[in-house]
Amino acid sequence: MKQIQTEPLVRIVKKEDMPAWQKIAVRLSSILLALIVSAVVIYAITKYNPIMVYQTMISGAFGTKTRIWSTIKEMLMLSCIAIGLAPAFRMRFWNIGAEGQVLVGGIVTAGCMIYLKDLPAPILFVIMFAASMLAGALWAFLPALFKAKWNTNETLFTLMMNYVAIQLTSFAVAKWENPYGSNTVGVINQNTRAGWFPTILGTQYFMNVFLVLLLTVLMFVYLKYTKHGYEIAVVGESQNTARYAGINVSTVIIRTLLLSGAVCGLAGFIAVSGASHTISTSTAGGRGFTAIIVAWLSKFNTFTMLLISLLLAFLDSGAGEIASKCKLNDYASQMIIGIILFFILGSEFFINYRLIFRTKTKEVA
């Protein structure tokens, strides 16, 4: 009796390490593909020429000096949060709570600006700097402690902490609202500019750029070249291996999360003191979630985070411009960002795996 044995139509095989240029090529083509799909979507909705749409986006993001700065501000904010998340993710600890950690950092910064506005500027800055990091670290400490001691699910715990922080922000807004009844805090210290980042080299955003770039380098070195960074990587790969190697897993988890939360809290400080000079739930505005994707896609490389953040910031301000030109609302940018992220996420597959199609059918007697 003849039996026909067939291999499956497609087999998936893990790929050996791909050359760097190929990885970049795969990612760039996924972005390109995503932009084409987005262009089709935009065309279907607005009937505008897609090329013109992208030209409008570029002018929306980089057209004037103010626009360039607002794009850069957005990019710095996303990078800063993503940098904060990097050590946690490297350890496979799903810190989904960046949104909340940023907000509590922002709340205490705003509080310092309101209550301590008469202090000399350098002292005020040191206090805000330390307080925001402390607040963020505390917000990450709770989930980390329970994860380390009782293996409580950190994804869900940190997620819930976000909403506690959001309510806390609303509480702060209600408490500090100015003018009364407006339900917003308004620009804090508008006249005295106490607690605002100073203008250096002709730009008020010098400190933002400086701080985030410094963090980028420091975190890169910390993760790649220090003992702590190595321990984080080992715990991330396998907790059992880490224990066998004599690493105290609980300590590493708690220490790393304190750091992660502190940097996210610092992002809140930069957002309040260095950009908006006010506090509201939109101080974080979903960036805590977007940054998770940035951190993951960059594979913990802080310099890649800057690039991905730039792409997202560009899309955000660019799509906003299209929306206002076409009298559509600016949620279009979220839609396009979603599409692009789907494509980048999908493209990782082609970096890590290889498809083998069935070549022949064997006949077995």
Q: Residues in the site for other proteins, rule: CB under 8 A?
A: 12-14, 45, 94, 96, 146, 150-153, 155-157, 159-164, 167-168, 170-171, 174-175, 286, 289-290, 292-293, 296-297, 327-329, 331-339, 341-342, 345-346, 348-349, 352-353
Alpha-helical segments (H) within the chain: 20-46, 50-62, 65-90, 98-115, 121-150, 154-176, 206-225, 227-237, 239-244, 249-271, 287-297, 302-325, 332-352
Contact between 314 and 57 under an 8 Å Cβ cutoff? The reply is yes
- Residue (230 or 348) nearer to other proteins, CB: 348
Closest separation in Å from C-beta 222 to other proteins: 23
At its nearest, how many Å lie between other proteins and the CB of residue 124? 25
Distance CA 242, CA 188 (A): 48
Nearer Cβ to other proteins (164/233): 164
User: Residue 162 Cβ, how far from other proteins at the closest point, in Å?
Assistant: 8
The length of the chain, given as a count of residues: 365
Residue 175: CB atoms within 10 A of its CB come to 10
Q: Which is nearer to other proteins, 91 or 211 (CB)?
A: 91
Q: Which is nearer to other proteins, 198 or 286 (CB)?
A: 286
Taking the complex as a whole, the smallest distance from the CB of residue 289 to other proteins amounts, in Å, to 5
From CA 7, how far away is CA 4, in angstroms rounded?
10
Q: Which residues pair with 356 in a beta bridge?
A: 11
Q: How far is the CB of 92 from other proteins (least distance, A)?
A: 10
Nearer to other proteins, 176 or 196 (CB): 176
Residue 31's nearest CA partner among 314, 319, 341 is 341
